[in-house]
Structure 1
Amino acid sequence: MSTSERPAPSDRSLSGLLLLLATIAGISVANIYYNQPLLDGFRKSYPHSAAWVGAVPAATQLGYAGGMLLLAPLGDRFDRRALILWQTAGLCIALFCAAFAPALSVLVAASLAIGVLGTIAQQAVPFAAEIAPPSERGHAVGIVMSGLLLGILLARTAAGFVGEYFGWRAVFGASIVVLLALSVVIVMRLPHSKPTSTLSYGQLLASMWHLTVELRGLREAAITGGAMFAGFSAFWSTLALLLAGPPFHLGPEAAGLFGIVGAAGALAAPLAGKSADRRGPRAVVTLSIGLTAVSFIVFALSASSLIGLVIGVIVLDVGVQAAQISNQSRIYALKPEARSRVNTIYMVAYFIGGAIGSAVAAAVWPRFGWVGVSIAGVLFSGIAAWNHLRTGRTAVAAPQ
């Protein structure tokens, strides 16, 4: 439940509040992905450190995992609105440092901070689960996740466009302006949330271990989601490098345009949420893992085909995002009074998987090229399938 001197969510249009939360999620999480189509620009700006540009997206995702571990649980203890505003202020400072980074090492450090502070979306998504009726929880989470996923995907398009015509530093500067405008809307429209826990910060962190041990369904969802996101990140963190070389010779704008193609996954998110509400999440996750594995087979055969890459992106994003919605719909019902902490456990594993995927891709790319990255994606899909299927019907299902 939420309370505030402003109108409570029950007095507002639920759809309007969900749209606002989706916007917050999308704009904030976009900062984690702006750097991916800019890798070639980083390489040109820091020629003496060119071999290490892959550390930028890896550091950002690792920072995101750390931020979720350290900051996201606070949503159970404090007003989420205040947390969102404080994190937005810190994120603006980190983006300023990235925009004026004199060396790659400074950019990597700033990217780590951007990841830590960019976890604002992890307050918005549990808030959607909190205000929605139980029978519509999957759909509500799907709407907000659509905003989050559009932010992830269209971030690459926006960054590619701005980077192509104004340089990569302008991307971070533009983000500061957008975040400041968003802060005004948050102050005007977003209600306060009512804390559901009185635990101290240390107790909140410690309780996550107990939740992990207690909730087998949460462990399964976290490992499966992390493995799938590892493959997803391996693809997106190297796509700009593939397109920059022969036979394409395309700049960051082209790499960013693939985000529009991938938006199909975000548009499918509410449908995935409804399907999870009706049929249960496990069947949706099983199908999603299969789609993800198929996408990497398509990628392996499309190192010189834009059409093949487009098809692969659509299949990959639909698969990964449908699994994400289904997993989150289930875990939010496991422990309603600890949604922020349950979400933290899941998303920390998710983005650790993303960091591993980016790091693996950065190591594989120089030696084995695009085919090597595609094989890594298939292997990550295999890990997700093994973890998901080995639990079978013995996994703890969330109450609906």
Structure 2
Amino acid sequence: MDVWRRLLLTVVCGVAVAGIYAAQPVLEPMGRDLGLSAAHTGWIVATGQCGYLAGLVLLVPLGDVVVNRRRLIAVHLAITAAGLILTASASAAWMAVAGLAAAGLFAVVVQITVAYAASVSPPAERGRNIGVVTSGVVVGILGARVVTGTLADMWGWRSIYAVLAVLSLALATLVLVALPPEERPSRPAGYGQAVASLGGLFGQRLVLTRGLIAFFLFASFGTLWSGLSLPLTDVPWKLSESQIGLFGIAGLAGALGAARAGRWADAGRATPVAGLALTLLVLSWAAIAQLPWTLWLLIVGIVLLDFAVQAVHVSNQHHLTAAHPDRTSSAIGSYMVFYSLGSALGAAATTAIFTTHGWAGSSILGAGFAVCALAVWAADRRLPRASENVRPDEAGTRQAREETRRADQAGQGANNPRVP
């Protein structure tokens, strides 16, 4: 896959996910304008996550049914734009919520995009390409904070969703023009069978353990980013929306610092890297908790947290795509169900905790989620595996190298299609 197509897929992921998280730095003015109390503003973000969860179950399996994923990506982007337009023009809370739910529902274009990238990548480069494309998710979540704050100060919070809608429509057109269709066999399964297989994946140990790690990982992530604007707009800081949005730059630095996570996964080090990253996640909350007294330690904590989240997220997806190369959409979709539930829990819980226990309570909550993620990782390492003698990352890497060797010997990449 060439660099420009990789960049396009990365931008698709970033814009799609930005629609769910764009409200985070403007929760206070958005909630006030729509008539919501401070304790319930977290549900603005949580609603998008609930729509996202429904999309993971109902729409992601289409990626394993529809032969032309390129066209599916374009359709999802167009419908996402419609939901964003509804939110931008909302005159009541229910309209904004309905628009965000629709945008969240079709934002699962991210998973179909990642599956597309995995399917057109040779096995030896799969982790690298997944890492680059997936970085668009974190860039979208955190970069949206910077842009959101600036746009909100200039033209109000509604302008954010209008801009994202325009970008989504432009990307839908560009995807159809710039990306070739995949070289996939004719329709491998019916929709009902694909949805049923998605449910079956939840019973597999690999999906369950990686999913639980993602659940607690993104609950911790959501606790920070959905709650951060509340103490920063309060005394002693009294920051504006654009100033709060600048903290997204620190998050971007951390996330992009983990860009090599895909290469580490290709080298067979996904599991130890995830353990180290989860340890850093726990430690990051010790710095983040100092927000009432210093912003410098907060910035350090943000960098550590987002580095950890991105490194673990890429490692998890590498495990799953290596284990299920024929069902990449469903494998990633089942994993992202846990991501969505965790993000929604963190978003809803942090605003409620902050109103009663302040930032100290939110910090304990975020650290607790991080400890749980690390505990799941450690338990999975210690428990014996019934049917395998190697770790998933080693097995996936060996399989990838063997597939590459066979393709080279045959003089063709029949099983590992490349984008021309």
Moved more, 261-270 or 372-381: 261-270
1:303, 1:370 within 8 Å by CA — same for their partners in 2? yes
Select the residue among 43, 61, 64 that pairs with 1:55: 43
Structure 2 residue 20 is the aligned partner of structure 1 residue 32 = yes
Structure 2 residue 87 is the aligned partner of structure 1 residue 98 = yes
Q: How many residues align?
A: 387
Pairing 1:58-207 to 2, within 5 Å after superposition: 58-78=46-66, 79-195=68-184, 198-207=188-197
Distance (Å, rounded) in 2 between the aligned partners of 1:245 and 1:284:
37
- After superposition, the C-alpha distances for 1:330-353 in whole angstroms (9 at most, x for unaligned) are 111111100100000101111111
Q: Which SS does the other structure have where 2:293 is aligned?
A: coil
Moved more, 230-239 or 140-149: 140-149
Distance (Å, rounded) in 1 between the aligned partners of 2:64 and 2:337:
16
Select the residue among 198, 213, 223 that pairs with 1:234: 223
Q: CA deviation at 1:295?
A: 1.0
Pairing 1:364-383 to 2, within 5 Å after superposition: 364-383=353-372
Q: Which SS does the other structure have where 2:291 is aligned?
A: coil
Q: CA deviation at 1:243?
A: 0.9
Q: CA deviation at 1:50?
A: 4.2
The corresponding residue for 1:208 is 198
Distance (Å, rounded) in 2 between the aligned partners of 1:25 and 1:310:
25
Distance (Å, rounded) in 1 between the aligned partners of 2:11 and 2:113:
9
Moved more, 232-241 or 106-115: 106-115
- After superposition, the C-alpha distances for 1:176-230 in whole angstroms (9 at most, x for unaligned) are 11122222211210112345653221111111122222x3112111110111110
Distance (Å, rounded) in 1 between the aligned partners of 2:296 and 2:192:
51
Q: Which SS does the other structure have where 1:193 is aligned?
A: coil
Q: CA deviation at 1:106?
A: 2.2
1:76, 1:195 within 8 Å by CA — same for their partners in 2? no
Distance (Å, rounded) in 2 between the aligned partners of 1:293 and 1:42:
31
Distance (Å, rounded) in 1 between the aligned partners of 2:39 and 2:291:
25
Select the residue among 22, 29, 38 that pairs with 2:10: 22
1:154, 1:263 within 8 Å by CA — same for their partners in 2? yes
The corresponding residue for 1:9 is none
The corresponding residue for 2:396 is 399
The corresponding residue for 1:362 is 351
Select the residue among 224, 230, 233 that pairs with 1:244: 233
The one-letter code matched in structure 1 to 2:244 is: A
- After superposition, the C-alpha distances for 1:121-165 in whole angstroms (9 at most, x for unaligned) are 111111121122212211111111122221121011111110111
Q: CA deviation at 1:270?
A: 2.8
Q: CA deviation at 1:40?
A: 1.3
Distance (Å, rounded) in 1 between the aligned partners of 2:198 and 2:174:
32
The corresponding residue for 2:415 is none
The corresponding residue for 2:32 is 44
Structure 2: runs of 5 or more not aligned: 386-390, 398-420
Distance (Å, rounded) in 2 between the aligned partners of 1:297 and 1:49:
29
Q: CA RMSD in A?
A: 1.6
Distance (Å, rounded) in 2 between the aligned partners of 1:195 and 1:113:
29
The one-letter code matched in structure 2 to 1:362 is: T
The one-letter code matched in structure 1 to 2:112 is: Q
1:276, 1:329 within 8 Å by CA — same for their partners in 2? yes
The corresponding residue for 1:8 is none
The corresponding residue for 2:412 is none
Q: CA deviation at 1:51?
A: 3.5
Distance (Å, rounded) in 2 between the aligned partners of 1:297 and 1:152:
23
The corresponding residue for 1:10 is none
The corresponding residue for 1:352 is 341
Moved more, 115-124 or 178-187: 178-187
Q: CA deviation at 1:315?
A: 0.5
Residue identity (%)? 35
**Structure 2 CA distance for partners of 1:268 and 1:126, relative to 1, 3 Å:** farther
Distance (Å, rounded) in 2 between the aligned partners of 1:321 and 1:194:
30
2:74, 2:171 within 8 Å by CA — same for their partners in 1? no
Q: CA deviation at 1:288?
A: 0.9
The one-letter code matched in structure 2 to 1:31 is: G
The corresponding residue for 1:325 is 314
Q: TM-score, normalised on structure 1?
A: 0.93
Distance (Å, rounded) in 1 between the aligned partners of 2:184 and 2:63:
7
Distance (Å, rounded) in 2 between the aligned partners of 1:280 and 1:218:
18
Distance (Å, rounded) in 1 between the aligned partners of 2:210 and 2:29:
36
